[in-house]
Amino acid sequence: MDLQIFPPEEVIETTIELPLSKSMSNRALIMNALTPAAQPLPEVAQCDDTQAMETALAQWHSAAGQPFEANVGPAGTAMRFLTAFFAASPGCEVVLDGSERMRQRPIGQLVDALRQCGASVEYVEREGFPPLRIVGAQLSGGNFDIDASISSQFLSALLMVAPTMDTPLTLNLKGEIASLPYLQMTIAMMQRRGIEIEREGQTVTCQPGVYLQRADCEIERDWSAASYWYEIDALSAGWVTLTDLTLPSLQGDSALAQIFPKLGIITEIEEGNAVLNPTPEMHSRLDLDLSATPDIAQTLAVTCCMLGVPFRFSGLKSLKIKETDRIDALMRELKKLSFALEAEADGVLSWEGHRVPVREVPPIETYSDHRMAMAFAPVALYLPGIVIRDADVVSKSYPGYWDDLKRAGFTLNEVGVEAE
């Protein structure tokens, strides 16, 4: 489905209920599956990624010790977390696969670490990449080094199964920790469920233990999804209320509340809701290290370009192995809008105000990436009628995004677009 988007005719003033955090939901699902006699979670995110996790876990239950196959599609979190979960589940025998893009996303470091703990994981095709053949076993802990700069999901996957191991697991994290808030989220959620786990600097140690059923471990609204409403508010100077979105938060992307005042939007928490208000103050330039919050890079890049604010974002090394190479995708699609970005070095993206001539704006490609679709849709506020290709891709994390845009006054028309 391709969508042509037109802006509201009046100033935006809307109230939006964001989806639940898929990051917290996927962690809660794994922890719940590891909890003895666990009750079903009261509510989790309703999106493709979480559905992939739930489906694979249901297959595991139904298999009852018989070999089975599970395909998580493009869900990277599910692939990493389930690799560790199945490896730590005695009696499980599974071939775990994903989409073509997933087969290009490296998983070797996680597999190597699991093997050090006694796991039986084999590559079905290409060394270092899915699909995987996993035979579950009782794992042991240990003390070993792991490169923390590639993916925090590898660390979270290992730590969540660590309580089931025979001996303590200690990870010595080498290099800068990628997406540190996600690791902190994992640790906090484990502690809430009674697990003894501590992080001191670059070392994380988890003791063997048993997850406790906790009815009060609520899943927060998704701060990553909130980023698109910050963008919309910044480009429209309207008023947006995001219900049941509070601070402090376990989610690293709550840093939006500190970043967007530099782009003209302040956040006020009122009665458990985040109220976004425009302000005339705006920085003339934005230089940020986004290593802790790479998922908001696309939103910030598009927002800065549309507002004419030069920027330099570092810490984006992980973007090359996401649903697509997000740095390359951003450069390609923003160039269609006349903005000439530069990838200065590994993980650095910048725009110094340079623009190129554009006669007409072609459709925006999304590269099977939900965040590309959602970050570029608000461009309609400046370029009415912009077309977003493969708009259905938002179902990966925020299925109700297009309905929420309509609620805010945008007009969306489904169109047919001939391939270029």
d(CA 372, CA 381): 16
pLDDT over 70, % of the chain: 97
Q: What share of the chain is helix, strand, coil (3-state, %, to 5)?
A: 40, 20, 40
Q: What is the mean pLDDT of the chain?
A: 93
pLDDT digits (tens, 9 = 90+) for 234-258: 999 999 999 999 999 999 999 999 9
pLDDT digits (tens, 9 = 90+) for 323-373: 668 888 999 999 999 999 998 777 899 999 999 999 888 999 999 899 999
pLDDT digits (tens, 9 = 90+) for 288-324: 999 899 899 999 999 999 999 999 999 888 776 656 6
Same fold yes or no, 2-19+221-415 and 22-206: yes
pLDDT digits (tens, 9 = 90+) for 121-166: 999 999 999 999 999 999 999 999 999 888 889 999 999 999 999 9
d(CA 324, CA 368): 7
Average pLDDT over residues 176-184: 89
The pairs formed by 362-365 with CB atoms below 8 angstroms and a separation of 24 or more are 362/336, 362/420, 363/2, 363/387, 363/388, 363/389, 363/417, 364/333, 364/336, 364/388, 364/389, 365/329, 365/332, 365/333, 365/389, 365/390
Structure token pair of residue 278: 């425009």
- Whether 344 contacts 322, CB under 8 Å: no
Pairing of strands 342-345, 348-351: antiparallel
Considering 48, 49, 97, 295, which one is annotated as catalytic? 295
CA dihedral (126, 111, 175, 247) positive or negative: positive
The one-letter code for the residue type at 370 is: H
Read off the pLDDT band of 393 (50, 70, 90).
very high
Crossing angle of helices 76-87 and 22-33, in 10° steps, is 10
- Count CA atoms closer than 13 A to 214's CA, side-chain side: 18
Give the alpha-carbon dihedral of 297, 301, 302, 306, to 10 degrees.
150
Q: What is the DSSP letter of 42?
A: S
- Whether 293 contacts 322, CB under 8 Å: no
Q: What is the pLDDT of residue 64?
A: 86
CATH 3.40.50.170 fits 2-19+221-415, yes or no: no
Structure token pair of residue 109: 């470091």
Any catalytic annotation for residue 325? no
Residue ranges of domains in the chain: 2-19+221-415, 22-206
d(CA 130, CA 116): 19
Whether the per-residue pLDDT at 419 is higher than 50: the answer is no
Q: What is the pLDDT of residue 65?
A: 87
Q: How many CB atoms lie within 10 A of CB 335?
A: 14
R_g of the chain computed on alpha carbons: 22
> Which CATH number applies to 22-206?
3.65.10.10
Pairing of strands 203-206, 197-200: antiparallel
d(CA 79, CA 81): 6
